[in-house]
Chain A
Amino acid sequence: MDAATGRAVPEERLLNLFIALTSTRARMTKQQIRSTVYGYDAGMQGGDAKADAAFERMFERDKEDLRRLGVPLQTVVDPADGGDIGYRIDASLATMEPIDVTPAEFAVLSLAVDYWRGAALGADAHQAFLKVASHVQHAATPELPFGARATGARAALGNIAEALHERRAIAFDYASSQSPPSSRVIDPWRIVMVGGTEYLVGRDHGANAPRTFRVSRILGAVRAVGEVGAFEIPAEVPLGGLTPGEIQGTATVALRPEAGHALRLAGTVVGTDGEWDLVEVPYRHLDGVRSDVLALAGAARAVAPPALVEAVTRFAGAAADATRGEVVG
């Protein structure tokens, strides 16, 4: 209760609603909730339109809060009761099963909360931690010399996860690298993480084919559209474009002594060419070696294959063109 107003605080009302809907024998109608669940009554009885609207707003907010907490709210229509919608919560579907974690695992879970600190999923991660903690006996937590943090907001991830769980399509605007930004409608199948970058794999309604999306390229909000349970996720979600490819070949790069340490680590020194060291580097995509050679700003020389030599000189030429006219001293 709020000491200043004497009215129930939202969490008090929410808990009363949760207990009422789990303990009701059949269901509760909106009217029954309004008149018997403590927290809805204060100043809102009677029929005037303002009180009705205030109740509706409050009830909608509480339903959303329950949903966000993971409580499945069932609607029950009783034809004998004039077709009014009633509500109930099946306790067996709503209850958290204990997760048996060791003190070390429990400490790691708190790092997962740190990872999202300040980001859109921060509150959700904290709630998850509290729920797991409910069934973990208190113990001295080991002090871990580890930390974790995400620098991007990734607000889209939460909505994607919800829609995936409900098997609902989502709509969003997407900035592709191949085409101008466009609206997409997707059946979300799987979130894929590659080195801390999140991707969404799902069926694109427009293309009627599986597509992969980089979550950070989603512009604005992800909205759930369409019905719950509208699709099934295939047993084998296609992840082809995201798996690291096979080794395609070996490039040869000449490096100045004391340069190209990253390339040296990735490859093998096979000889020298005058003042240069010759290094053989296995590659999955030639683009990666091209970028490494370019970034060494003249301390590396592409030797083979010819396609690498051509690409390096073409890119350097393009950069010189794009910055032409500058005095270089």
Chain B
Amino acid sequence: MTERSRPRVARLLGIVAYLEDNGATPFSELADHFGVSVEQVAKDIEQLWIVGRPGGFADDLIDFDYDAFDAGIAVITNTQGARQVRLAPREGVALVAALSAMVGAGAAPKAAQTALEKVVAALGEQTVTVLGTSDARAEIVRDLTDAIGRHVVVELDYVDAGDHRTSRAVEPHRIVTIDGGPYLECWCRRANDYRTLRIDRIVTAQVTDEPATTPASGSDGFTLVREYDATICLRRGGRWALEDIPGVVIEDDGELVTATMGVTNEAWLAGRLLSIAPGLISVEPLALRTEVARQALAVLATHGA
């Protein structure tokens, strides 16, 4: 078997339903619509052709027009009552949670809100509630979308995770929701590299007329470089500060938890650790421990303590 059976059953029933709704349809249209190759569509129809009711006589089986099939066109002549089946609870929550994350992040096209409403209505019961609002400002998302569409450079005033405020010219490629947070994938002319910037840290965005010249990165995700691995032991009350760090592994040992993670920004992580300092048991390696100590002493000095 080259693919798992459930998605293929969903597609096979989808082809039956689509043909019943739309009549004669070229294989190429089915392929485009269901995201498979034309060869796979032909295989799917051959598969459906030998499926049907018990009995096994020719008129018990799903049937297609043979001549049309030879011409690469699907015409269903007997569906045996097969119809697409309703959304399963897991399928429903997969769509609703993803659309909710996008809408909640404030980094989705308008159609996400209406699509979400339609899917929720179709499911007939509310399983998911979305709370809170995004800090991404709608006018900045709109300006970025506009710049992406026109392939032009945007001048950003940006505050990074380390609280550095910078002006940078970027070539914006895509607006992405990552775990409910709004991000901009772009080419940063200042860093001369691809960057994924948090949209809610953009202070101002000035769309220019200067053409963007760098193609979008083919690879997904952050371009942050891991400096080293850290192991942090803390009382479990402070786990909230670490559990949303991408790639973190948390081992729970009752009173204490041990978190291991790749460190991409030492100063930022040390700042996080200060916010749970009373529960901190140990910090490894030495480099991170030293940075925590440096920041703690700087805070104490500022406060005259």
Whether chains A and B associate is yes
Q: Give the B-binding residues of A (Cβ under 8 A).
A: 1, 9-12, 14-16, 18-20, 22-23, 36-38, 65, 67-71, 91, 93-102, 104-109, 111-113, 115-116, 121, 123-138, 144-152, 157-162, 164-166, 175-178, 180-181, 190-198, 216-217, 219, 237, 239, 242-244, 258-262, 265, 287, 290-291, 293-302, 309, 312-320, 322-324, 326-328
* B9 and A69 contact, CB distance less than 8 A: yes
* A144 and B56 contact, CB distance less than 8 A: no
Q: For residues 118 through 150 of chain B, which have their beta carbon under 8 Å from a beta carbon of chain A?
A: 118-119, 122, 125-132, 134, 145, 148-149
Q: Which of B110, B128, B250, B255 contacts A192 (CB 8 A)?
A: B128
* A18 and B82 contact, CB distance less than 8 A: yes
A and B contact pairs by CB, cutoff 8 A, 8 listed: A10-B5, A161-B127, A162-B90, A175-B252, A195-B132, A198-B97, A237-B129, A261-B159
Given contacts A261-B159, A322-B282, contact A164 B127 (CB under 8 A): yes
Contact with A along B146-162 (1 / 0, CB 8 A): 00110000000001000
Is B72 close to A, CB under 8 A? no
CB closest residue in chain B, given A196: B180
CB neighbours of A260 from chain B (8 A): 163
* B87 and A128 contact, CB distance less than 8 A: yes
Q: Give the A-binding residues of B (Cβ under 8 A).
A: 1, 4-15, 17-18, 21-22, 29, 32-34, 47-48, 50-56, 80-95, 97-102, 104-105, 107-112, 114-115, 118-119, 122, 125-132, 134, 145, 148-149, 159, 163-165, 173-181, 185, 201, 203, 220-221, 236-240, 243-244, 246-247, 250, 252, 254-255, 257, 267-268, 270-275, 277-278, 280-283, 286, 289-290, 292-303, 305
**Separation of A162 and B236 alpha carbons in the complex (Å):** 30
**Separation of A323 and B236 alpha carbons in the complex (Å):** 19
Q: Which of A94, A105, A116, A161 contacts B118 (CB 8 A)?
A: A105
**Separation of A67 and B107 alpha carbons in the complex (Å):** 34
CB neighbours of B271 from chain A (8 A): 294-297
CB neighbours of B125 from chain A (8 A): 165
* A11 and B127 contact, CB distance less than 8 A: no
Given contacts A19-B81, A128-B91, A130-B14, contact A320 B132 (CB under 8 A): no
**Separation of A327 and B290 alpha carbons in the complex (Å):** 7
Q: Which of A145, A191, A319 contacts B129 (CB 8 A)?
A: A191
* A316 and B299 contact, CB distance less than 8 A: yes
CB closest residue in chain A, given B119: A99
CB closest residue in chain B, given A89: B85
* B102 and A112 contact, CB distance less than 8 A: yes
* B92 and A128 contact, CB distance less than 8 A: yes
CB neighbours of A217 from chain B (8 A): 243
* B174 and A145 contact, CB distance less than 8 A: yes
* B91 and A108 contact, CB distance less than 8 A: no
Given contacts A316-B305, A322-B281, contact A147 B185 (CB under 8 A): yes
10 additional A-B pairs beyond A148-B178, A177-B239, A327-B290, beta carbons within 8 Å, are A9-B1, A12-B50, A65-B5, A69-B10, A108-B112, A157-B97, A193-B131, A195-B181, A294-B271, A320-B297
* B89 and A323 contact, CB distance less than 8 A: no
Given contacts A197-B180, A244-B132, contact A70 B83 (CB under 8 A): no
**Separation of A100 and B21 alpha carbons in the complex (Å):** 13
CB closest residue in chain B, given A256: B302
* B55 and A36 contact, CB distance less than 8 A: yes
Q: Which of A37, A107, A165 contacts B89 (CB 8 A)?
A: A165
Chain B min CB distance to A111 (Å): 7
* A145 and B145 contact, CB distance less than 8 A: yes
**Separation of A270 and B78 alpha carbons in the complex (Å):** 76
Q: Which of B11, B81, B293, B298 contacts A130 (CB 8 A)?
A: B11
**Separation of A70 and B83 alpha carbons in the complex (Å):** 13
Chain B min CB distance to A147 (Å): 4
* B292 and A323 contact, CB distance less than 8 A: yes
* B173 and A145 contact, CB distance less than 8 A: yes
CB neighbours of B165 from chain A (8 A): 258, 261
* B81 and A296 contact, CB distance less than 8 A: no
Q: Which of A10, A134, A258, A322 contacts B1 (CB 8 A)?
A: A10
* B17 and A135 contact, CB distance less than 8 A: yes
* B290 and A323 contact, CB distance less than 8 A: yes
CB closest residue in chain A, given B112: A108
Chain A min CB distance to B34 (Å): 6
* Among all A-B residue pairs, the 8 with the closest Cβ atoms: A196-B180, A70-B88, A298-B298, A295-B271, A161-B93, A128-B91, A36-B54, A112-B98
CB neighbours of B102 from chain A (8 A): 108, 111-112, 115, 146, 148
CB neighbours of B274 from chain A (8 A): 291, 294-295, 297, 315-316, 319
**Separation of A18 and B201 alpha carbons in the complex (Å):** 52
CB neighbours of A176 from chain B (8 A): 236
* A326 and B286 contact, CB distance less than 8 A: yes
Chain B min CB distance to A231 (Å): 14
**Separation of A99 and B114 alpha carbons in the complex (Å):** 12
Chain A CB count within 10 A is highest, among B15, B99, B100, B302, for B302
Q: Which of A130, A132, A157 contacts B93 (CB 8 A)?
A: A157
* A138 and B85 contact, CB distance less than 8 A: no
* B21 and A135 contact, CB distance less than 8 A: yes
CB neighbours of B118 from chain A (8 A): 99-101, 105
